[in-house]
Amino acid sequence: MTKRESNSTSSFGYGLLTGALITGVCAAYKNYNINKHRNEILDHVKSLFLREGPIEAAWIEHMPAPYSDSQHSAKAYFGGVTRDEDGTLQQYQFAVDAKNGELLDIYKI
């Protein structure tokens, strides 16, 4: 292998390594923002429930899913809240628009 071929191979390797590193950083940043947004949505829904009294538990799905009703068609996060109402645990499910955080639906299960 000549010196020129060796430099070309090294440059290709460094370029490949740099590209992989940049892709990894971008993917991690995107995942961080998605998780942050999802957690902010859950915190907002919990704060709405806390106005009426304490809650026992709350959850939100990791990935948005299709949602549609007579007024909306969007990707939404689905989740739930459990609260104690008169000594009985009551569960609620909600749907929140994944893009803007708008509460789309909430109902007792």
What's 94's domain CATH number? 3.10.450
Residue by residue, DSSP assigns 39-80 as HHHHHHHHHHHHTTS--SEEEE-SS-EEEE-SS-EEEEEEEE
| Mean pLDDT, range 73-87, rounded to an integer | 90
How far is residue 84's CA from residue 50's CA, in Å, rounded to a whole number? 12
| Mean pLDDT, range 45-67, rounded to an integer | 91
* Domain that includes residue 38, residue range: 3-108
Mean pLDDT estimate for the chain: 79
Domain count, the chain: 1
Predicted local distance difference test score (pLDDT) of residue 61: 92
Who has greater pLDDT, 8 or 73? 73
Task: Supply 90's token pair.
Answer: 């009551």
**Residue 2, pLDDT above cutoff 50:** yes
